[in-house]
Structure 1
Amino acid sequence: MWTGPLHTAEREFLRSDLDPRELAALLEPFTDPRPATLLEVREALLSGAVARQVRDAVWRRVITDARLSEEWMVAAVGLAVPGLKACARRLCEGLDGRAAEDVQGEVLAGFIAAVHEIDTGWYRLPWMLRCRAQRAGLRARRDALAHPVAGEGPERGALAARPPGSPDLVLRDAVRQGVLSESEACVIGLTRLEGVPLARLARERGTAYWKLAKRRSRAEKRLADAVRSGRVAARSPVPAPA
């Protein structure tokens, strides 16, 4: 049985009551009767009976709406869940439960980031989105295999090989420079440096997973841009004069 972020995403998708009529109209030449729910839209997209150009047109509409609406982001994730599960299943082979949850979480976060970033003028959009999600999950798998840590608690995933203090100083400097808020730095620090699964952090905070994943993705993009520009670095705080 599937558990973890992708299971949660599927459950929220099935609860969605969004109106699929615009998507159904795009699918009409290939479906009879016309899909009446998002689940039926997903079944049509996966059936193999829909032309590639039409699938791309449906996904362009979904991506456009998902960039503006949390509800449609839930729909976008739900439409992609079967493919994301297949991807995650392979990536999670041989991993323990917690590492597998991390990989699932990164697959989902990678997909959400791709929805925000992908060029909707490209062809084969669902495949491109899945590739981005798979790359994110592969990075998480490699990290899990490179740093296997037993035991309980948030400290289990600490990256022992990192330069002492360096990532922490980058985050602290990002907050000082106004690139990140304290909350954003905390989320990045806990999930990237301390190994706390994003799904667990979302549960503890009572926040939807994809909402927290989207916030982290945007914060990390700002951080990466600031590091590349030299605005943020691993600087120690300058002590105040006595």
Structure 2
Amino acid sequence: MRHDPLRAAEHEFLRLELDTDDLLRELAPFTDARPDTLLELRELLLSGSLARQVRDSVWRTVIESARVREEWMVAAIGLAMPALRACAARMCVGLDARAAEDVQEEMLAGFIAAVHEVDTSWCRLPWVLRCRASRWGLRARKEALAVPTAVAEPLANGPVPTGNPDLVLEDAVRQGVISKADADLIGRTRLDRVPLTDVARERGTAYWQLAKRRSRAERRLTDAVRSGLVTARLSALSAA
């Protein structure tokens, strides 16, 4: 894989230096372990030495922090990385490098969405987050196996006979389905094959935010193409 989104996420996780005092207070009544780093905390959470209720309590604190601070979202992803890696290994079997990258990016976007939306009163929070990431990754896998190009190929299922992806993006902007910035993001990362991490760096935007934004825009675009609202033909005629 020319670009590994999960590896990039792990790299950012290992660079974090966050105040974990709140997490240590959650752990104090239940273990003598005092992890000094987030990596040590991850190892403790995976060790099997903590009761599920304790792990859930730690994850509630992590989720609440991740909803308001970018650094803690990176921490949440890193703490879940072993599970995400295991899911990705299964999801990417038989896919080419580009499709595998898309699956990983969708898994991350699904995980981020779950962090923002999950009911923290639920039990087995890490499992809930992993399941959401897995579902989004599975959807990306199915799309990759069904269609080779994320933007152009949905047109094969719609009413457009000439699926020029650039014109599709133009018409989506014209119809108000996606913004011009979203069209540029999709065009650069899907058609020009610029890694999402590179675009995020150029824009000074967090990778995770950009991945989530692109995923939402692509879902709107796909729905609009399949419904016939967006076509390449309209843009071509308008430009004539």
Alignment of 1:181-220 (within 5 A): 181-188=179-186, 194=191, 196=193, 200-206=195-201, 207-216=205-214
Could you tell me how far apart the structure 2 residues matched to 1:57 and 1:156 are?
39
Q: Which amino acid aligns with 1:174?
A: G
Aligned to 2:87: 87
Distance 1:40 1:21, change over 3 A: same
Aligned to 2:114: 114
Distance 1:9 1:54, change over 3 A: same
Could you tell me how far apart the structure 2 residues matched to 1:157 and 1:172 are?
16
- Name structure 1 gaps, 5 residues minimum: 149-154, 228-232
Asked if 1 retains the 8 angstrom alpha-carbon contact of 2:66 and 2:73, the reply is yes
Matched, 1:146 2:139: no
Deviation digits for residues 14-49 of structure 1 (CA, Å, limit 9, x no counterpart): 000011111122122343231121111111111111
- What's the TM-score, normalizing by structure 1? 0.77
Could you tell me how far apart the structure 2 residues matched to 1:173 and 1:156 are?
20
Paired residue total? 221
Aligned to 2:24: 24
Deviation digits for residues 70-118 of structure 1 (CA, Å, limit 9, x no counterpart): 1111111111111000000011111122211111111111111111111
Aligned to 2:64: 64
Structure 1 stretch displaced more, 78-87 or 53-62: 53-62
Distance 1:89 1:140, change over 3 A: same
Aligned to 1:11: 11
- What's the TM-score, normalizing by structure 2? 0.77
Distance 1:3 1:42, change over 3 A: farther
Asked if 2 retains the 8 angstrom alpha-carbon contact of 1:88 and 1:103, the reply is yes
Identity of aligned residues (%): 58
Q: Which amino acid aligns with 1:187?
A: L
Could you tell me how far apart the structure 2 residues matched to 1:181 and 1:7 are?
30
Could you tell me how far apart the structure 2 residues matched to 1:99 and 1:217 are?
14
Asked if 2 retains the 8 angstrom alpha-carbon contact of 1:111 and 1:129, the reply is yes
CA RMSD of aligned residues (A): 3.4
1:158 to 137, 152, 167: 152
Distance 1:218 1:64, change over 3 A: farther
Asked if 2 retains the 8 angstrom alpha-carbon contact of 1:113 and 1:217, the reply is no
Asked if 2 retains the 8 angstrom alpha-carbon contact of 1:26 and 1:54, the reply is yes
Could you tell me how far apart the structure 2 residues matched to 1:2 and 1:219 are?
24
Displacement, 1:184? 2.5
Could you tell me how far apart the structure 2 residues matched to 1:2 and 1:56 are?
35
Q: Which 4+ residue blocks in structure 1 deviate beyond 6 angstroms?
A: none
Matched, 1:124 2:124: yes
Could you tell me how far apart the structure 2 residues matched to 1:117 and 1:82 are?
22
Matched residue SS, 2:175: helix
Displacement, 1:209? 2.0
Could you tell me how far apart the structure 1 residues matched to 2:215 and 2:3 are?
23
Matched residue SS, 2:144: helix
Distance 1:106 1:121, change over 3 A: same
Aligned to 2:102: 102
Asked if 2 retains the 8 angstrom alpha-carbon contact of 1:31 and 1:44, the reply is no
Matched residue SS, 2:18: coil
